[in-house]
Structure 1
Amino acid sequence: MRQQILDLLNRRHKALSRNDILRFLELDESSGDEFDRTLSELVEGGYVRQTKKERFELLSESGCHVGTIQVHERGFGFFIFEDGSQPDVFIPAPLINGAMNEDKVLVCLTKPFNDYGKAEGRVARVLERNTQHVVGKLDLGKRFAFVIPREKKVKQDIFVPLDQLGGARHGEIVDVEITAYPKGRNNPEGKVVEVIGQSDDSGIAIETVIHSLGLPKEFPPEVLAQAEAIPEKIPAEEIRRRNDRRSDLIVTIDGADAQDFDDAITVFKKGPNYELSVHIADVTHYVAENSPIDQEALERGTSVYFPGRVIPMLPEKLSNNMCSLRPDEDRLCLSVDMSVSPEGKVVDHRIYESIIRSSERLIYDDVSDYLEGDSSKFSGDLATMLSQANELAGILRQKRFDRGAINFGFMESEIIVDEEGYPIDVRKRESRVANQMIEEFMILANETVSEHFFHLDLPFLYRTHEKPSLEKLTDFNNFIHNFGLGIRGKLEDVRPQQLNAIIEEVVDQPHSSIISKLMLRSLKQAKYTNYMEGHFGLASKYYSHFTSPIRRYPDLQIHRIIKENLSGKLSQGRVKHYETILPEVAELSSKRERRADSAEREVDDIKMAEFMQDKIGQTYLATVSGVTGFGLFVELDNSVEGMVRISDISWEDFQFDPDKYLIKGIKNGKTLTVGDKVPVQLIRVNVEAGEITFELLEKLDEATGK
């Protein structure tokens, strides 16, 4: 009924009375109670406005819309439409109206969209609060106390009455539950619910991130009890009903420190074709729907990976033991066999339940060494299989890039920690041939499964990556014009091939990785949906996440659907059930993924700051990775990134030119922009905030050639 009312008001484009709506929907008074309740919910939810004449209209008709606000650390915000149908709306700081980051809000436009897709608005009402807890440092006075938030997007300190301190002392890091939200100029109020520790405690910065983002740590007792009660021995009848692949040469290939092996492969040639089997841990055999483990996994959404530490989605007995495809142990799997032509086309495939026994636990670097020429690493059938697997991966990779998949090409950071979790090295992580090989096989399995179930017209989860917004693409295109580059064709009809052409054009240039990173930031974030729209970055028409059910809930969810379909248990009732729950599963999984990404970024920043804190005074040759009105972002050769503030430069007055994306010296006329090499000295490190600050040295000529 909710959608019927919205659709009607959208079609009529005018305010209707209660009786008009009932009449148009052909409803009588027997439906009145449900109708009135639904209409009230739409009004309260900010979707429908009730006029003074007791008529109802869509708020969007009056320039007001429902969505989420993202607050910037400088106080302003951006409104994101609930359906993603329009570009983000800028909200000036004075018009935030007490909204906090990620709140669901009703925003009314103050400046409508212009030809460039830009608009401004004000928060008319907060509909749903996202922030219930704030983590920060307690500032205790004689008559009052405030908590100074660690999260920069929380712009106001939290007032805490002295009788709500919960025993916390001045300077401690605490978790505050908000009891009253900001109104006008009043600060939010709260009470201390947990003392996390002293601000100078070892590891306090990481614990602060975990608490502030609401990451789970310990599993609830009922979840651990259920996991412990699962028998490790696989019943004989379960083995008999599955496809037995235990005699095959099957291997896992992972990092040296990996614990949860959720995928294994085997490859061989049959005539001109390659026969690829991808075996994925059958987590759903042990995790029943709506069981304590399943509910906890859904709430966690994903495993979270920090340097030297993991917050897992599943209890260790499952993630590192019973579901992990360890060598020489029988394991239950969901498998995909794919017959691939020499041109890289899947000409036949089969999806089925299996039991496997991994023959070898291989490591990326060892396999890469062999494939790159060290023949001493492997021999016999295993060596033959790895060579054929590498041939197939090369074919798949070339085909993927030929169809337009974006090859960003920059290396990510890798932080090495000791047994205590202290960083001892930071370096760029190289994606070697074995890493790329497994990546290609997992992508192919994800595409094959996704297409198979799309054509079955069954409810399913998809990994969706939409086309970039015109606004962000325009900004990126304006930026690369400074390097003599430009996106060919109409930006509104952009295809991934056009972006790949930019990367290929600068592949050997000093600013190559910077342009790749800025391009990545201009794209939309991938998300989970219950409808298929394709994956822009991979240039894939069909894409789902199937290959990591130990660490991602959407994979576990579609395994459950696949298995019910294979066993003939996917009744109409079950189809209706999945149609009902999948939108919510997709939305929650996307939120949990974003939370995990934020946590991993913040912890990486903290660990890099820890690594650099004993190096104050040292000088480096850095690369400019960003330019802003207040300074430069610079990156060292080991991938550590920091800030050079214009206010810290005493020997020159630099001014920012936003059109040319550079800063220019007033006295000497020298310019600095992205990709330039500059000499810097480390002057400040703030571990708690994960901030690294450099000073720009005066001797620029030798480094920049300017």
Structure 2
Amino acid sequence: MKEKIITVLKEQKKALSSIEIAQILQLNNIDDTKMLLKTLVEMENEHLILVNNNNSFSYLDPQIYLTGVVLINKKGFGFVRINNQQEEYYVGQKDLKDALDNDEVIFRLKKNNNLDKSKKIEAEIVKVIKRKTEYVVGVIRKNKENHQTLEILNVKLQQYCGLITNPEQYSENEIVKGFITNFNPKKNIIEVKVTEIIGNLNQPGVDILAVLYEFNIKTHFEPQVLEEANHVASFLAAPEELTRRRDLTKDIIVTIDGDDAKDLDDAISVIKTANNTYVLKVAIADVAHYVKENKMLDQEALSRGCSVYLIDRVVPMLPEKLSNGVCSLNPNEIRLVMCCEMEISREGKVLNSEIYEGYIKTKARLTYNNVNKFFNDQPGEISSEVQEMLKMARELYQVLARRKHSDGALDFDLDEPKFITNQSGKIEAIVPRERGEAEKLIESFMIRANETVAETIFWMDLPFIYRVHQQPKEKKLRDLYEQLSLLGLNIKGKLENIHAKDIQTILEKLKNYDNFKVLSALFLRSMEKARYSPVNDGHFGLASTCYTHFTSPIRRYPDLLVHRLLKQYLLHNQVGVKILEDTRKTVSFASEQSTICEQKAMDCEREVNKMKEAEYMEDKIGNHYWGIISGVTGFGIFVELENTIEGLVHIRDLKGDYYHFDERTLKLIGEHTRKEYFLGQKLKIKVKNANKKLRQIDFELVRGK
């Protein structure tokens, strides 16, 4: 029946009603007509046909009608991209139909009447397949008629007016979450049913809470999940459990974390052997011992994917009874661990390794600050035995750092913001986050452990979850090299069979340029995104042929799954055909789910940072600062200040000329004066405006240099 319907719709080349289709197919009895209607519904659900407003059907030719995800800009237009493809197509506001940001859609390409080949091909949305934005967050307001409306806070939906379908006694300035019941893009109206009150707009911390709701990130645990957490936490290191594990309590093992960290999931120990090699033990909290597969805690952790770290809070993947309690490697307490023990040569090569269950009692809870002070010969309160271990750890770190550099590992050396808050939570300063030797040491040890674990299972050819980072696409590299040459940099880079070492070499040549940070950001944007995968494609950025995430099971679900798989394969030898088939399905689903959750957490963190940066700059309007141009677009230039805050100088605020955007050279060029604004250029700006709601900062130029 489906094939016959498709043939009819192809031949007629127009939309047909069910009656017209039945007539052409000569369906004369009731049973055949019922079968036709049932088949048409199935075909619509399978996106083989499209139903218009007149209930007529047309064939969705897969050569013409494509499936993808639409990303909508807060200015109203968007871009649609076919899944797993690099090419994206511009969608004007009138062609978005009723699509919202991140919706899965059917679209078709428009005829290109534009002779300018540099502009993106345009597309129009035909149908929304799956609505990804189901909820909005907003502030209760009252209009002139004293009716309640919703001022939507989602940045990409602020052009719409929210009409509340269940108006009750909500107070003005209350922030609420609501379910989208109807959407009218022509009138810019979203109808919303309020489902939850988040808090008052003026209440401290509610602004960040609202962003968490905006990204649909869970902020609390259900009672039954907390009950299970309390239950499993009560079985703390039972004697019979310790007897079957390796005793590491006599080792000089320490944790090194940030000052405020409470979920301590990794500890390290280093000794030097008589053969002049190093033995590195990376002991990781054995979360899998407490969080069993398919139990409520496991399902909750999988749905969250990871902990979310924001300016004033952590939204944990696991309840605090586990994350900050029984699983956290707190000082001088017995804790269960999975340990990756490696003997490493003076050249940084792992000579042999072993992964096993153990238990530890850490000798100290160190911070990056006090370890960095020790490395810089500043006085501190670290015991002599721990100091000796740290000296050997520093030696090993330098060995591993040289090895990684030799392999070609990339370091883009870009600044991240650090928000300094007072006791009431108000931001007092924003500064670039510093990465000292202690931070790099721990990162280096974790990378080596992750590689060792991944290699161990890879060579066993068993289902596993890998952290992959593919090499950059040829087109992105070609565009990058062209941009560099137009900036006056004669860079000859490879396009095919590229290795991380090739990019590393170029970055090192550019290191001494004043605008290195901007150039490095260009390189970073040309890279692919790292993700989780059941297939080992290597990690380009780390120059690793095999990589996974093993070291943070308290805050990342893939690490928890890796621990579970290590126990399954190495300790219990569960490698039967049926077991491996089920494991393969689990790994595949967890890879996709964890990648989605990680991206959502990163997007949420970025929006919170932008919101708080705008709030921080609200009382600095009129102040002057130096910065460099970090981005050039057709609507203006982005300028980054020394404290990492970025703002826009709109093209209308560039006085004295009419400026044109050259997309090839990424420059704004004055029509009469030929004055240019380009990446890396140093400028002095004045803060023109800062809008917390829009999460936007506007600058205007004082003078250039």
- The TM-score, its normalising length taken from structure 1, stands at 0.86
Residue correspondences, number: 658
CA 1:187/1:428 → structure 2, altered by over 3 Å: closer, same or farther?
same
Corresponding residue of 1:70: 71
2:642 to 634, 637, 645: 637
Give the secondary-structure state (helix, strand or coil) at the position aligned to 1:153: helix
One-letter amino acid matched to 2:481: N
Give the secondary-structure state (helix, strand or coil) at the position aligned to 1:261: coil
Partners of 1:375 and 1:159 in 2: how far apart? 59
Q: Does structure 2 conserve the Cα–Cα contact (< 8 Å) formed by 1:117 and 1:471? A: no
Shift of 1:120: 4.2
Unaligned runs of 5+ in 1: 6-35, 52-57
Corresponding residue of 1:124: 126
Give the secondary-structure state (helix, strand or coil) at the position aligned to 2:81: strand
Shift of 1:173: 3.4
2:608 to 603, 609, 614: 603
Partners of 2:43 and 2:490 in 1: how far apart? 46
Q: Deviations over 1:98-129 (max 9, x none)?
A: 221121222334469x9999654332322111
Corresponding residue of 2:163: 160
Moved more, 460-469 or 668-677: 668-677
Moved more, 504-513 or 377-386: 377-386
Corresponding residue of 1:226: 228
Q: Does structure 2 conserve the Cα–Cα contact (< 8 Å) formed by 1:99 and 1:126? A: yes
- The TM-score, its normalising length taken from structure 2, stands at 0.86
Partners of 2:383 and 2:497 in 1: how far apart? 50
Partners of 1:412 and 1:684 in 2: how far apart? 23
Partners of 1:45 and 1:647 in 2: how far apart? 47
Q: Does structure 2 conserve the Cα–Cα contact (< 8 Å) formed by 1:487 and 1:498? A: no
2:665 to 660, 664, 671: 660
Corresponding residue of 1:535: 539
Q: Does structure 2 conserve the Cα–Cα contact (< 8 Å) formed by 1:166 and 1:194? A: no
Partners of 1:686 and 1:556 in 2: how far apart? 40
Corresponding residue of 1:192: 194
Corresponding residue of 1:578: 583
Shift of 1:238: 0.4
Corresponding residue of 1:96: 96
Q: Does structure 2 conserve the Cα–Cα contact (< 8 Å) formed by 1:87 and 1:469? A: no
Unaligned runs of 5+ in 2: 4-35, 52-58
Give the secondary-structure state (helix, strand or coil) at the position aligned to 1:392: helix
Shift of 1:417: 1.2
Corresponding residue of 1:400: 404
Shift of 1:297: 1.2
Give the secondary-structure state (helix, strand or coil) at the position aligned to 1:684: strand
CA 1:686/1:186 → structure 2, altered by over 3 Å: closer, same or farther?
closer
One-letter amino acid matched to 2:271: F
Corresponding residue of 1:591: 596
Partners of 2:546 and 2:176 in 1: how far apart? 46
Partners of 2:41 and 2:584 in 1: how far apart? 23
Shift of 1:380: 3.9
The equivalences for 1:484-563 within 5 A come to 484-485=488-489, 488-563=492-567
Give the secondary-structure state (helix, strand or coil) at the position aligned to 1:342: coil
1:410 to 404, 410, 414: 414
Q: Does structure 2 conserve the Cα–Cα contact (< 8 Å) formed by 1:166 and 1:192? A: no
Corresponding residue of 2:260: 257
The equivalences for 1:248-327 within 5 A come to 248-270=251-273, 271-327=275-331
CA 1:669/1:49 → structure 2, altered by over 3 Å: closer, same or farther?
closer
One-letter amino acid matched to 1:193: T
Q: Does structure 2 conserve the Cα–Cα contact (< 8 Å) formed by 1:307 and 1:421? A: no
Give the secondary-structure state (helix, strand or coil) at the position aligned to 1:164: coil
Partners of 2:543 and 2:133 in 1: how far apart? 36
Partners of 1:417 and 1:371 in 2: how far apart? 27
Partners of 1:688 and 1:610 in 2: how far apart? 9
Give the secondary-structure state (helix, strand or coil) at the position aligned to 1:534: coil
Corresponding residue of 2:690: 685
Corresponding residue of 1:245: 248
Shift of 1:629: 2.0
Q: Deviations over 1:433-460 (max 9, x none)?
A: 1111111110111111111111212221
Moved more, 613-622 or 133-142: 133-142
Q: Does structure 1 conserve the Cα–Cα contact (< 8 Å) formed by 2:268 and 2:281? A: yes
Identity of aligned residues (%): 37
Give the secondary-structure state (helix, strand or coil) at the position aligned to 1:613: helix
Shift of 1:322: 0.7
CA 1:120/1:339 → structure 2, altered by over 3 Å: closer, same or farther?
farther
Partners of 1:47 and 1:387 in 2: how far apart? 63
One-letter amino acid matched to 1:91: V
Corresponding residue of 1:461: 465
Corresponding residue of 1:135: 137
Q: Does structure 2 conserve the Cα–Cα contact (< 8 Å) formed by 1:133 and 1:176? A: yes
Shift of 1:61: 4.9
One-letter amino acid matched to 1:692: I
Shift of 1:255: 1.1
Shift of 1:88: 3.1
One-letter amino acid matched to 2:511: V
